[in-house]
Chains A and B, each alone.
Chain A
C-alpha cells in the first residue's frame, strides 16, 4: 500500500503538542507482543465461562433442564433466566432484551444459559449438556413482512417510524429517476474477539476487567440486572483489541458477572470467533427506495425516499440509526423539497446495533447511486452533476436544521476531481500486474475494464436528538510530569495520544501519562461518533488550562503582570518581555496541581413528528474518488486507488489522522465488496473468518489523501472534527459508482456481487 499525502509526517515537524505526529505510547508493547489484552488476564482460582445459544431463530422454550450439566465434574454453576436477581431486561434506550431467553427465542444465537467450570472445554461441554426443549416457530426474516406479522415482542414489531416532511409535496422536476437499493449485514469483526474477567468483591459486588468501549453504561446495565447499587459494580478497562462498534456490551458482560457472583470465584470468558459473530450486534441490513426529481440543468428539486432498517430481534440503537438515515437521506446536497419515510422494524434476524457510520452509510450508497443515475439520464459527468448540487455552510438540511459548521463540500469534490489518476503499470511486465482475482489468479488483461466513480458522504458528530453529551477529565502535574484521568476509552481511535498532546501543548511538559480507565472516574460516554475527540478532549483541554492558571498565577502576581503575558514552551516559562525565565519544574516547587473540568457541547433537540429539528451538534464531510479494475467476465473487482479529501476542522496529529482515514476506507472496501454476514431463514451462515471475507492487505487499495480541509469548527474544542467515520460511510458509495462506470450495470446492492459486475453483452 503506498501512501500519498499533502501533509508531511516525516519527523520534520514538532515532536510533541497539538499538530505533531506524536506516536501512540503503546506501540512498543503491541509490536513486542507484551501489551495485555483482556484475553491475557489471569486470576488465582479462576473459572471459565461458556454460553449456550439458541440454534433456532424463533422458538418457544418448553423446558430447560440443567441437571446433567450441573452434575458434570468441574462444573461450578449453570445459570438461566431464573437466576437473574434484578431487572430481567436491558437495552440501550429501550430495555427490551432478556439476559437469557426464557419463554421465547427471538434470534439465532440468543443466550439461554451460561456455565462456569474449571476448564474452558468443560464449560463448553456442560453448556452443550443443557437440555432445552423447543417448539420451533416460523421465523419472520423479511423486514417488509414485519409490519403485517404477529408481534415478535410485547413491544411490537415497529421500533421507530420517522416521516420526514420538508417543503412542498406537490413539487416536481422535469427529470425523475427511481431506484431500489439493498445494503448487507456488515459485522464489526474486531481483530481480537471479546474477552473479559469478572471478579467478585468482598462487598457482594463485582468487578469487570474488559475492553469495554462504554464502561459507565455497561456498569449501569450490570448493576440493574444484578439488583445492586451502581457503586458495587466496577468496570476496569483493559487493552482494547480494536473496536469499530460497541465492544464487550451487556450481552457479553451480564452472564459473566452473574457467574462470578454466583460462584464467588473470578470467572473468565474468552469467546471463540463463532461466538463473537453470534454474540455482538451488526450493521442494519437496509432496503431503500428512492425517487429523485431534478430540473433540466441537473439541479435537485425533490427527493422522495422510503428507508427500511432491519433492526433484528431487539431495538438496541436502531432508533438512532434510523434518525441518521432519514436526516441524511439526501446527502450533502441542497434539496428544497424532501419527503423521507423511515422505519426500523423487528425481525428474527441477528440483532443490529452500532457499527461506524450507522444509518449514514446505508443512505450514502443509495443517494450516490441516484446521482449517478441522474447524471446518466441527463448525459452529464457524474462529478459535474454533484458539483451543481453540493451543500455549503448556511444551507438548510431536510430536517430544517441550518448548517452552521464549516461544510466545504464543493472544495472537497473539486480536490478529488483534480487529483492525478493512478498510473497504469505500463512499465512492468504483464505477469506482475495485480489484476482482479489476485496474484496467480485468473485475471486476463483483455477482460479488465477500469472505472472511476465518486462519492460524497456526511455524518453527524456526537450523539443526537437531545442526548446529554458530557465528559469529565482531571489533569494533574507534579515534578514536570502530567497525568490525565478521564474515562474515555482508548479503543484505537487515538484519544490517549491526543490527551497527551493537549497537556504537552498547554502545560509545556513532555512526559504525560494517561491513567487507566475505570468507572470510579466520572463518565465520558461511549467511544462512538467522534465523541472523545470532541467532548473528552475538550474536557482535558479545559482542565489543563485550569492547571496552567494555577501554575502561573503566583508568578504573574509576583511580577505584576497577568497570566496571559506568560508563555509556556518546552518546559520553560517566559514572560513577553523576557524579564522572567524559569522552568515548569521550578515553578511547581514540589507542589502537585490538580484540576477537573467538564465539557458539554450545546444541546440538541429531538426530531419532531415531521422529522424536523436541530438534532445535530456537528457534521463532517468527505469526498472519495474510487478507481477500480473489474474483470467483466467473472465479475471480480479490485479497488486500485481511493483518493480522499476530507473536512477535518484541524489536523491534531497528522500520522494518526492518516491511519484513521486509511482504516475507515478499508472498512468501506469490505462492505462494498465482500463483507456480509449471511443468514438463511434467520440462521447465520458461516460465522467464521473463512466464510465472512474481510479485506486482506491485497484487497486494501492505495490511499491518496489529496486534501485535508482545515476550516475550524468554532464550537468544537481546537476546531477539530472527528475523522474516523466519514471515510467508512463514503468509500462504499464511491466504489459502487466506479463499478457502475466500468460496467454500465446498475450496482444496486452492497456488497457488490460478482454477477452484478459482469458485462454479458446481452
Chain B
C-alpha cells in the first residue's frame, strides 16, 4: 500500500548491532523488527502504529552462532528454520525440536529466536527450552555496551530491556546430553501449544532441568521435582529409572505448575474446573514422556 498515511516515516536497515542501537537512539520511538511474524500482524490489525522501523534483517553478525567456553552464543536473528536443521540439532537438540514445531514453514522461515523472546508470548515455543537451559540474553546498548540478563528474568519482568537496547545474542550451555521438547496442540497440523514441556539433562552438574510452557504467562520451572528426580538418577551408569518414578515425576511437575486452589477458610478444597484438570493431565503426560525420551 504505497500511500498509507500511517506507513512508517523511516525504515533504517543497519548492518551491525551497534549501528542498530544507534538508529534506535536516533529515533527513540522506532520499533525494531526482525522476522515480523508477530509485529506485522499487530501493525496490520491496527493495534500497533510504529512511527519508524529498525529492520534487523541485514545484521549478519546475529544470524549465526559462535562457540565460547562451553557455550554457544546464538545470534538473535537466527530463524526457526535455521535452528531446525540437523547441524544445529546436534548442538542444542531441545531448541531445534521447538523450532521445528513452531508454526508452518512460512513462519519458521521468518520468525527469529530474538523475536520469540521479545514477543514473550505465553505460547512462544523456544521460551521453555531457553528457560530449561538457563540461557542468558546478551543485550546491546548505546556506546557498544553489553550486559547479560538471564532469560527467565526478562520473561518474568524481573529485569527489563531499557530504551534503546536490543537483544543481541542468547548464551546457551552446550550440555552434550539428551534434550526433549514436547507440545500439545489442537490439531495434527501446526498450531499453538496448549501446553509444552522442555526437559534437558545436565550430566556435568548431575541435574535435570524442566520448564513448562503455555500454561502461564511465562515458562514455569518445577524446581523441587527437578531436584527430586535428579537425585534418583544413576548418573554414572545407564541413567535408568523405574517407570513408576518417571510417572511420579510427571505428576509432580503438573501439580507444581498447576496447583490445587488454596483451601478455603473452612478447610474445604475446591476442585479444579474440568478444563484445568485436563491441562494438568496433559502436562503430566508431556513431562513423563519427555523424561522417558531423555533417558531412553
Contact = CB atoms under 8 A, between A and B. Distances in A.
Interface of A: 74, 119-122, 124-125, 128, 272, 274, 434, 436-438, 440-442, 444, 447, 633-636, 638, 673-674, 690, 693, 695-699, 753-755, 758, 760
Contact of A441 (B45, B104, B182, B275): B182
A695 B187 contact: yes
A697 B189 contact: yes
Question: Which residue among A440, A638, A690 has the maximum number of chain B CB atoms within 10 Å of its CB?
Answer: A440
A441 B186 CA distance: 11
B195 to A, nearest CB: 8
9 contacts: A121-B4, A434-B188, A634-B285, A635-B278, A693-B186, A695-B189, A696-B104, A755-B277, A758-B278
**Chain B interface, >50% SS class:** mixed
Contacts of A699: 187-189
Interface of B: 1, 3-6, 44-46, 97, 100-101, 104, 182-192, 194, 274-275, 277-278, 281-282, 285-286, 289
B4 A119 contact: yes
A4 B182 CA distance: 34
A684 to B, nearest CB: 14
Given A274-B45, A440-B97, A442-B183, A119 B188 contact: no
Contact of B286 (A120, A634, A674, A690): A634
A128 B47 CA distance: 12
Contact of B278 (A440, A697, A755): A755
Contacts of A128: 46
Given A441-B182, A635-B278, A760-B281, A122 B5 contact: yes
Contacts of A754: 184, 186, 194, 278, 282
Nearest to B289: A444
A342 B278 CA distance: 34
A124 B1 CA distance: 14
Given A120-B1, A274-B45, A438 B281 contact: no
**Chain A interface, >50% SS class:** loop
A75 to B, nearest CB: 11
A698 B3 contact: no
B4 A442 contact: no
A440 B104 CA distance: 13
B191 A693 contact: yes
Contacts of B285: 442, 444, 447, 633-634
Kindly list the 5 A-B residue pairs having the minimum CB-CB distance in the complex, ordered from nearest: A696-B189, A755-B278, A442-B182, A698-B189, A633-B285
Contacts of A755: 274-275, 277-278
B289 A442 contact: yes
Given A442-B286, A699-B189, A754-B194, 15 more contacts: A121-B4, A124-B46, A440-B100, A441-B101, A441-B183, A442-B285, A442-B289, A634-B281, A635-B278, A674-B186, A693-B191, A698-B187, A698-B188, A754-B184, A760-B281
A216 B24 CA distance: 57
Contacts of B188: 434, 436-438, 441, 636, 638, 696, 698-699
A392 to B, nearest CB: 38
Contact of B5 (A74, A634, A635): A74
A101 to B, nearest CB: 22
A696 B187 contact: yes
A690 B192 CA distance: 8
Contacts of B182: 441-442
Nearest to B98: A440
Nearest to A74: B5
Contacts of B278: 635, 753-755, 758
B249 to A, nearest CB: 15
Nearest to A73: B5
